[in-house]
Amino acid sequence: MVALTARQMKFLKSHELCRLATASKGGRPHVVPVIYTLDGEDIIIAIDYKTKKLKNLKENPKLALVVDDYHPNRGLMVEGDCEILERGSEYLRLLQILFDRFVFYRKNPWGEGESPILKVRTTKVVMW
């Protein structure tokens, strides 16, 4: 795991949308926008079952994501390893973090086994 700098953490905390890139075991890329939050330095993302990104991550747990602004042109790219959580105490802890951060999730709550949560550990980070 690569430690994020204070500047990188501040930038990630000031945003909530990223573009998540996954790849199948055969290397076919797939990129989608998702909302995220942080648990320490880990990036936390809730996704749905029956999605291409979940299928890809089950085949290949490596991913990348980009958080950026157009004006001024600045951004952060993360490469990382993904853990998929579906149940258990860690799942419930991360679920509460998501509920605390996003009004939409609080208004439309779910429980264990209803939506996987991705826990991303950073292996590389580039900021511009």
What is the tens place of the pLDDT at every residue in 97-110?
Answer: 999 999 999 999 99
pLDDT per position as a tens digit, 52-79: 999 999 999 999 999 999 999 999 999 9
Cα-atom radius of gyration of the chain, to the nearest Å?
14
**For residues 43 and 65, what is the distance between their CA atoms, to the nearest angstrom?**
10
Give domain 6-127's CATH number out of 3.90.226.10, 3.30.750.200, 2.60.40.420, 2.30.110.10.
2.30.110.10
Do 11 and 76 touch, CB atoms closer than 8 A?
yes
Does the pLDDT at position 1 exceed 90?
no
Helices (H), the chain: 6-13, 52-59, 89-101, 103-107
pLDDT category of residue 45 using cuts at 50, 70 and 90: very high
* 112 DSSP assignment: T
